[in-house]
Structure 1
Amino acid sequence: MTIKDLTAKYDPSNQFEVLKKTYEQIEFAWNNKINLSQIKKKGIETIVITGLGGSAISGDLFANFFKDELDVPFYVNRSYTLPSFADKNSLLVVSSYSGNTEETISVFNQALKKKCRIVCITSGGKVEKIAEKNKIPVVKILPGFHPRYSLGLSFFSLLKVMNKLKIVKVKPLLVDSIIKLYKDKATTYSKEKNLAFKLAEQLIGFIPVIYSAESYTSSIGYRFKCQFNENSKLNAYQNILPEMNHNEIVGWESFNENQKVKVFNILDKNYHTQIKKRFTITTEILTQAGVEVINLESNEKSFKVRLMDLIYLCDWITYYAGILRGFDPAEIRNIDLLKTKLSS
């Protein structure tokens, strides 16, 4: 079947077009007018972004993006409780695409009591109502997307907030470069037998195991794993180097061909010399054990652009892995069932 046939059969809500037009989300988020004048910029000692799922990954990506530039502790919180260190000198970014994520709302209410400096990124819901009631600034993003398909909105809204508060400096040229890249790649990845499609084909019947590098590409590995879960309806596993070399590498000693797995290495030329060496040796060990290892690496000049390049490729791979296996990439029935039971 062609890509057109597969999307017609298994993608009734047309997430294919949503993926193709991710660059439009970036354009909207970066050009969206925001008012953060009521947030005191001086004296921010810690930064917390609180969210779950697709609304939290922007925090992970931000930490990788600015790993050498952030001069205050940055923490991504995925729970019902506000970290105990958060106080009036903490900046809390409440990230909830729907605005109704119960864990995030719980943290939001705790942060109000502790008088944190708060900004919300949401399309509406309860988060927006609580923010309006308490005169908390809201960065309003476009509704109508699945959270995992709205990374362009959530991440670039976060960039805009941090740039506006002068926590980091984001050059417009960087954003323009990413928009151009996404426009070009959207054309490439929507053609028949493109790289993302071919990699998805190779995965049929296999479980993906993903290895990335701590601080550099850990967000890519985790995003890739989660996108396999939701888009492809496929269990996937991820770990980071060097940590994986201190435990998980031993597990491969018992590997046999009946274990249907393939390994993805997320690579980058900026890796610490020893991390590069560790990936090389780890790959040798796995290959000798009979494991197929697939390397993913971007050739873009800028580290930040390379991160966005890889995350977009991974999104397309997982989309195609879903429709090739006969699943609607938009459906998340188990999550919907869980939410229904939790609310009853």
Structure 2
Amino acid sequence: MIHDFFQQQVEKLDPTDVLGSIGMIPKQIEQVWMQGKKFIFPREFSQATSVCVFGMGGSTLGSDFLSSVFRDELKAPITIVNDYTVPAWVNTSTLVILSSYSGTTEEVLHASEQVIKKTKFIVAVSTGGQLEQWARKRKIPSFIFDPIHNPSKQPRVGIGYGIASQLVVLKVARLLSVSDAQMTMAIRHLNTLVKKYGGNGVEQKNEAKKCARAMVGKAAIIMTAEHLKGSGHIFQNQIHETAKQFSVHFPLPELNHHLLEGLSFPKDVLKNMIAVCCESTLYHARNQKRFAVTKKVLKKQHIASYALRLEGNSRFDQALGLVLFASYATLYLALLNNMNPANIPWVDFFKKQLK
């Protein structure tokens, strides 16, 4: 049972079970990880010296996540393209990942016809749709997953699929090494957090609910660093789509070189802002100090802040933990905003206008 207000709001506003999908993120990851053990593609794919991922919205968040968490372990740089155009540098040594949760993303389908002229190292990642058909026709390797643990059918809360499927591709291509033990520990950590952040329990003891309450009526600046940058991007997007609220993401130390001076005007806007500071003891010591000083600056400028200290013994565990936290916090924020967390009316309107 969900306590009081949130229970009532879920019953009224969450008919597609976004709450259930979030609680199944650990199962999403486990499902794809096990499926990935049987996934193979030509050995020469491991010769790739660069990776280019094509996708829109939630379909490339997994790549951004992995680029942040494993930035000093990846054997090839990853570039994410959220557009129609294939970069000129893509060549025969580039592994291209065509990522579309639905398999119908027009930008990805458009780019697919261009990349086959540049490289043979191509993998499609999807639940099916036109992308799967395109890849099958051209005998291009495809990692197709069945999102059985995402009852809401919303890609953003099927983020476990997005992260794990991209991870499987990079692992099979021998560009990243993640062990079964690492994955088991990560899933165990997430299952613990599901109990902590999930629907049960009073608000005062639930960090995700408290954070959501703090963000009500405010534009949220998500502040992260290092291995949490990709998770911060996910947090921002989920505030947009799930809570229907404005948010931006800025990573440290970069924001310290410009954003602090941009927090003086306009006064009417700044009083309705909050900085969500995602802190970690695994950050570089200087970045940990930067967070402390940044919060001092925010206080001096009378801007609200919320300090979130990530749990977990590894960067992977902490980054996944932030994704789960963000998923729950933005659901609760949607309920506080009296909004259906699944519906995306303006995106749907926009797509119809493009037809």
Normalised by the shorter chain, which TM-score bucket? Answer: over 0.9
Whole-angstrom distance in 1 between the partners of 2:41 and 2:239? 40
Q: Is the alpha carbon distance of 1:184 and 1:272 closer, same or farther for their aligned partners in structure 2, counting shifts above 3 Å?
A: closer
2:119 to 115, 125, 129: 115
Whole-angstrom distance in 2 between the partners of 1:313 and 1:130? 36
Alignment of 1:194-213 (within 5 A): 194-213=206-225
Q: What amino acid is the match of 1:40?
A: E
Whole-angstrom distance in 2 between the partners of 1:22 and 1:195? 18
Counterpart check, 1:219 vs 2:222: no
2:29 to 26, 29, 36: 26
1:61 to 59, 65, 71: 65
Unaligned runs of 5+ in 2: none
- The alignment partner of 1:47 has SS state of strand
Counterpart check, 1:82 vs 2:94: no
- The alignment partner of 2:45 has SS state of coil
How far the C-alpha of 1:257 sits from its partner, in A, is 7.2
- The alignment partner of 1:253 has SS state of coil
Q: Which moved more, 1:172-181 or 1:138-147?
A: 138-147
Q: What amino acid is the match of 2:70?
A: F
Q: What amino acid is the match of 1:25?
A: Q
Whole-angstrom distance in 1 between the partners of 2:335 and 2:140? 41
Aligned to 2:155: 147
Counterpart check, 1:283 vs 2:295: yes
Whole-angstrom distance in 2 between the partners of 1:276 and 1:116? 43
Q: What amino acid is the match of 1:68?
A: D
Q: Percent identity?
A: 26
Aligned to 1:70: 74
Q: Contact (CA 8 Å) 2:53, 2:81: kept in 1 or not?
A: yes
Whole-angstrom distance in 2 between the partners of 1:299 and 1:37? 36
Alignment of 1:243-322 (within 5 A): 243-254=254-265, 256=267, 259-322=271-334
Whole-angstrom distance in 2 between the partners of 1:255 and 1:341? 34
**What is the number of residues matched between the two proteins?**
342
Q: Contact (CA 8 Å) 1:26, 1:156: kept in 2 or not?
A: yes
Q: What amino acid is the match of 2:188?
A: K
Unaligned runs of 5+ in 1: none
Q: Is the alpha carbon distance of 1:201 and 1:266 closer, same or farther for their aligned partners in structure 2, counting shifts above 3 Å?
A: same
Whole-angstrom distance in 1 between the partners of 2:313 and 2:193? 16
Whole-angstrom distance in 1 between the partners of 2:287 and 2:191? 32
Q: Contact (CA 8 Å) 1:23, 1:183: kept in 2 or not?
A: yes
Q: What amino acid is the match of 1:309?
A: G
Q: Contact (CA 8 Å) 2:62, 2:163: kept in 1 or not?
A: yes
2:139 to 135, 141, 149: 135
CA RMSD of aligned residues (A): 1.6
Whole-angstrom distance in 1 between the partners of 2:191 and 2:228? 23
How far the C-alpha of 1:168 sits from its partner, in A, is 1.0
TM-score by length of 1: 0.95
Q: Contact (CA 8 Å) 2:227, 2:315: kept in 1 or not?
A: no
Q: Contact (CA 8 Å) 2:124, 2:142: kept in 1 or not?
A: yes
Whole-angstrom distance in 2 between the partners of 1:240 and 1:298? 15
- Higher RCO, 1 vs 2 (CA within 8 Å, ≥6 residues apart): 2
How far the C-alpha of 1:43 sits from its partner, in A, is 2.4
Q: What amino acid is the match of 2:330?
A: T
Q: What amino acid is the match of 2:175?
A: I
